[in-house]
Structure 1
């Protein structure tokens, strides 16, 4: 028969001891990543400052007024930004680094593809007008079937539907159905 004291000793011996990882020691890879993140952040700030100055010069008096409003907004968001940075704690630097990397990738794609926003409202209207006339034209669909373009159009339709469904899933935070309570 087991005594309570021997039973407690047996339980203590079976409990797994948590291992403690050294968190105060220096990690050269972590320090290098932090240094790189700081460099990217400073270069981003410098680039933004230069872009703001060039935008002010291009826009003339209107740009100077917009710059004043932007500077006042930056000053007013300063303490809020500081508090948000403190709330993020140790995650602040990796988040800034990953955001900077994402921004650079988007910038490279933007330049490589030669992307630009539409220059006027007429350009947007003409693009949608062309899509509408093609979608409602019997000749367009007959030509697409004869040239076997219908497969390409079908793939585009499936992609659009898939993106729509993914957006629905994100919106309702569930893959199937809504969470009712």
Structure 2
């Protein structure tokens, strides 16, 4: 029993070692690209003044702004929500590779879970 556990653990460690180099490499590349974008775009963290302005704007949103919505605004929002739902559902179908449900192989008399 202990030898099976040791061999399984050894196999797991070997598989982790095999993927370590590509993962580290890709992480370094992503960090370098992010750093270049940050510098090129002149990005910076928000200042305390910007945080305060945003907080003030969020606190001042009240129910009156929702009451002033018109039917046209509601229709536009409904169309955008329907488009988002449609793209989500198409992604689900593509991910499952099946229109309805998942393809689950039937379990024979020697089937395993």
Shorter-chain TM-score: what band? 0.3 to 0.5
TM-score (structure 2 length as normaliser): 0.38
Larger relative contact order, structure 1 or 2 (CA cutoff 8 Å, min sep 6): 1
Structure having the larger proportion of residues in helix: 1
